[in-house]
């Protein structure tokens, strides 16, 4: 009986230690992300570039506080999707235009990284 209680206490203690370590790890991860994004405009500019080029043209532009330009880029992407159902070549051309525009915006954001606003 005593051995079972001892084993149970040990298991509870180990579980508490693991939970505490997990919390600490999560806090360290959050601190790293905070440091990278909040205190480094160049990192934000690169994130916006990757969003624009790899995820969705216009998304990085919107996040960099160039809302109107980013919305127009998104409109072009959605227009390209709709048009490609009717005439695929025209849809691909419109998509290429939106992508190149987003790429140019991203380069401009990188050049003006000192003007990037930090997240609130």
Cα–Cα dist 98/76, whole Å: 6
pLDDT at residue 28, rounded to an integer: 66
Cα–Cα dist 95/43, whole Å: 27
What is the pLDDT confidence band of residue 119, given thresholds at 50, 70 and 90? very low
Cα–Cα dist 16/43, whole Å: 36
Digit-coded pLDDT (tens) for 86-100: 999 999 999 999 999
Domain region containing 65:
15-115
Residue 86 phi, psi dihedral angles, 5° rounding: -90, -50
Digit-coded pLDDT (tens) for 31-81: 666 665 565 777 778 888 888 889 999 999 998 888 999 999 999 999 999
pLDDT at residue 1, rounded to an integer: 62
**How many degrees, rounded to 5, is the angle at CA 74 between CA 70 and CA 115?**
15
Count of structural domains within the chain = 1
Place of tokens 């934000």: 44
- Quickly count: other Cβ atoms within 10 Å of residue 73's Cβ: 24
Cα–Cα dist 73/81, whole Å: 13
The answer to whether residue 2 is domain-embedded is no
């Amino acid at each position: 009986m005593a051995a079972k209680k001892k084993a149970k206490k040990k298991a509870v203690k180990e579980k508490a230690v693991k939970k505490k370590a997990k919390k600490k790890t999560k806090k360290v991860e959050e601190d790293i992300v905070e440091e990278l994004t909040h205190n480094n405009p160049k990192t934000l500019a690169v994130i916006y570039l990757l969003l624009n080029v790899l995820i969705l043209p216009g998304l990085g532009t919107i996040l960099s506080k160039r809302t109107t330009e980013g919305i127009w880029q998104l409109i072009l992407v959605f227009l390209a999707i709709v048009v490609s159902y009717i005439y695929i070549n025209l849809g691909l051309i419109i998509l290429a235009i939106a992508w190149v525009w987003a790429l140019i915006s991203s380069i401009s954001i990188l050049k003006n990284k000192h003007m990037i606003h930090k997240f609130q």
